[in-house]
């Protein structure tokens, strides 16, 4: 009998197939004591296992490429964290086996993060995966992972670690569903990059029996268990129609009456450029430069290394617009040479621009590298600062850009409610705004962007969040300047229409979402988008906002 479940849709598309479950987690190692004379040998085993797992993660990243590579390299750094390794060795020194020392050290760190409510708690799934891989290697057992299957299937898991998501084979994994996670988790981001339909934050998904046929709608978040033939035909027909619509619309982003809405790509480095070009991106709306810095947490990359990476992206978009975000370190992206190690809540501490202003030499080197990288190229470079709180922040950043001799537009990200509320003041110092809706939602609703339990508050359809977008767009319009969106909100085709109606002037997203957004915008006039935006803001919940906008755009 057909039943319907609803989670959070995080990657567009429809998948229909039999369920396969992720392998079970590594068993807890026995808590047995070892003689003191075996401690040094066990410590050696632990170090070897850590290095082997880190090397494997890096190798997987090299195979995956693009944004997945950066995520996996960051996870490898987590495995090699000096404090964690020191804790493991301390536990072994007082009698633990290598595997038990690893298990307990990671458990302590996990509990510390979760109980403190830190932003890093959003990486608990990544931490668990690293622990499981090290313990499995020490126990000599296979690492649980994506099941072997000769036939395509829908994967269900409690959560998916980046190492598993990055190497999913889209020809076999039709889509995936997780019980935990959020719309901006690593797995959600990688799913969109792969173009695999995905639904997260669906409690009870693990109870769906192996082999059960399910239909997954990655746009609505709906899961149909044992769908009827009518439902399957309806979803397949809608999917086919959507694909036809995607291929029929090409060229720059615009509404049906010709209002231009440039569609840009979010990239983490040169590896993400081919997919952006294939999707017809009109430029880059968010170049996340922190992945270049995460290659080595001990020191900043040299100016020459930065120039090479920046130029490789800039050269790919002649006559296009490339918006570079300077280093956004802190919170879930700590760097030993830049961020404090003892902050009680890094998400609310010294991160983003605050870190850079405390280390002006790092900012100066990056801005100088960008200035040199763009020399002689016919590209429109724009550079923006993350985590701008007020006009003083914006002025400090603009001054630093001018001092570095940077010939580009300077902008500010709107990720803190204060920046949206005082957007017109900030625009006295910079030339454009870019809304990071993921962090803006997190700070607006006091809801960790990686925690599935508060995912409803991370929904970009929340009317309060739309109000802040409108405030920012209105301020930019009044100042004759631009205001784009580079958060995950831009990847929702329906919401893209609403954002356009709110006055947003460009949309930047993962490359896989660009065709969906282009096709949807092309079906509606600017006036329809404006009416949909008004209807959404008049609602009292995210679901009501989505329904109201849909009704306007469908002519109901």
Nearest to 271 by CA among 70, 502, 487: 70
Per-residue pLDDT for 440 more than 80? yes
The predicted pLDDT at position 449 comes to 63
The predicted pLDDT at position 117 comes to 42
Which range, of 28-32, 111-115, 332-336, 374-378, averages the lowest pLDDT? 111-115
Packing angle of the helix pair 66-79, 186-194 (nearest 10 deg): 150
What burial class does residue 372 get, using C-beta atoms within 10 Å of its C-beta: 0-12 exposed, 13-18 middle, 19+ buried? middle
Q: Which residue has the tokens 């170049």?
A: 287
User: pTM higher than 0.85, yes or no?
Assistant: no
- Provide CB contacts within 8 A for 329, sequence distance 6+: 290, 293, 335, 338, 339, 351, 352, 355, 356
Question: How many other β-carbons are positioned within 10 Å of the β-carbon of residue 476?
Answer: 24
The predicted pLDDT at position 494 comes to 94
pLDDT tens per residue across span 462-505: 999 999 999 999 999 999 999 999 977 898 899 999 999 999 99
Q: How far is CA 544 from CA 283, 334, 536, 539, in A?
A: 33, 38, 7, 6
CA atoms of 377 and 370, how far apart (whole Å): 12
pLDDT tens per residue across span 219-272: 889 999 999 999 999 988 888 877 777 778 889 999 999 999 999 999 988 888
Packing angle of the helix pair 360-373, 303-314 (nearest 10 deg): 40
Q: What is the mean pLDDT of residues 329-334?
A: 66
453-459's contacts with Cβ under 8 Å and 24+ in sequence apart are: 454/182, 455/8, 455/182, 455/183, 455/200, 455/201, 456/542, 458/182, 458/183, 458/184, 459/8, 459/183, 459/542
- Provide CB contacts within 8 A for 416, sequence distance 6+: 387, 388, 389, 439, 440, 443
User: Residue 332 — very low, low, confident or very high, per pLDDT cuts 50/70/90?
Assistant: low
Per-residue pLDDT for 122 more than 60? no
Q: Give the strands of the sheet with 198-200, arranged side by side.
A: 3-6, 222-225, 213-217, 14-21, 153-157, 173-178, 198-200, 8-11
SS percent in the chain: helix, strand, coil, step 5: 50, 15, 35
pLDDT tens per residue across span 339-384: 776 677 777 888 899 999 999 999 999 999 999 999 999 999 999 9
User: Residue 116 — very low, low, confident or very high, per pLDDT cuts 50/70/90?
Assistant: very low
**17 beta partners:** 214
Packing angle of the helix pair 391-403, 360-373 (nearest 10 deg): 60
Report the catalytic residues. Answer: 186, 486
User: Residue 114 — very low, low, confident or very high, per pLDDT cuts 50/70/90?
Assistant: low
The predicted pLDDT at position 296 comes to 62
Quote the tokens at residue 287. Answer: 């170049």
User: Residue 411 — very low, low, confident or very high, per pLDDT cuts 50/70/90?
Assistant: very high
């Amino acid at each position: 009998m057909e039943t319907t479940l609803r989670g959070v849709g995080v990657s567009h598309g429809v998948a229909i197939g039999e369920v396969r479950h992720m392998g079970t987690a590594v068993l807890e190692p026995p808590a047995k004591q070892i003689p003191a004379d075996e401690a040094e040998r066990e410590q050696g085993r632990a170090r070897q296992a850590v290095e082997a797992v880190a090397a494997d993660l890096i190798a997987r990243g090299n195979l995956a490429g693009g944004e997945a590579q950066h995520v996996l390299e960051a996870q490898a750094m987590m495995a090699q964290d000096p404090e964690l390794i020191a804790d493991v060795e301390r536990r072994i020194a007082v009698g633990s086996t290598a595997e038990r020392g690893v298990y307990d050290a990671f458990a302590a760190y996990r509990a510390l993060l979760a109980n403190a409510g830190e932003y890093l708690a959003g990486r608990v799934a990544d931490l668990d995966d690293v622990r499981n891989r090290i313990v499995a290697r020490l126990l000599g057992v296979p690492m649980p992972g994506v099941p072997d299957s000769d036939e395509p299937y829908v994967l269900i898991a409690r959560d998916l670690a980046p190492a598993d998501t990055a190497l999913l084979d889209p020809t076999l994994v039709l889509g995936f569903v997780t019980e935990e996670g959020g719309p901006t988790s690593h797995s959600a981001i990688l799913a969109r990059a792969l173009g695999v339909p995905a639904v997260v934050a669906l409690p009870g998904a693990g109870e769906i029996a192996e082999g059960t046929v399910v239909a997954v709608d990655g746009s609505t978040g709906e899961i149909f268990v044992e769908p009827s033939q009518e439902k399957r035909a309806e979803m397949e027909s809608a999917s086919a129609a959507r694909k036809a619509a995607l291929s029929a619309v090409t060229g720059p982003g615009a509404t049906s009456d010709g209002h231009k809405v440039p569609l840009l790509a979010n990239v983490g480095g040169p590896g993400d450029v081919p997919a952006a070009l294939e999707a017809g991106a009109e430029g880059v709306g968010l170049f996340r430069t922190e992945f270049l810095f995460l290659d080595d947490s001990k020191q900043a990359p040299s100016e020459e290394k930065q120039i090479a990476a920046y130029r490789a992206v800039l050269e790919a978009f002649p006559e296009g617009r490339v918006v570079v975000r300077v280093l956004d370190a802190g919170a879930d992206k700590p760097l030993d040479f830049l961020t404090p190690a003892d902050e009680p809540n890094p998400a609310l501490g010294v991160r983003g621009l605050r870190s850079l202003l405390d280390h002006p030499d790092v900012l100066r080197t990056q801005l100088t590298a960008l200035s040199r990288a763009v020399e002689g190229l016919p590209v429109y470079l724009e550079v923006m600062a993350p985590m701008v709180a007020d006009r003083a922040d914006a002025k400090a950043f603009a001054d630093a850009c001018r001092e570095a001799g940077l010939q580009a537009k300077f902008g500010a990200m709107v990720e803190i409610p204060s920046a949206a509320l005082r957007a017109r003041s900030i625009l006295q110092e910079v030339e454009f705004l870019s809304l990071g809706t993921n962090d803006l939602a997190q700070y607006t609703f006091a809801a960790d962007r990686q925690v599935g339990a508060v995912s409803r508050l991370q929904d970009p359809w929340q009317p309060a969040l739309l109000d802040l977008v409108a405030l920012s767009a209105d301020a930019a319009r009044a100042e004759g300047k631009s205001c784009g969106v580079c958060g995950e909100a831009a990847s929702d085709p329906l919401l893209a229409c609403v954002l356009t109606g709110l006055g947003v002037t460009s949309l930047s997203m993962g490359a896989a979402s660009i065709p969906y957004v282009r096709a949807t915008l092309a079906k509606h006039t600017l006036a329809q988008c404006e009416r949909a935006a008004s209807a959404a803001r008049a609602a009292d919940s995210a679901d009501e906002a989505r329904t109201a906008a849909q009704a306007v755009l469908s002519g109901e």
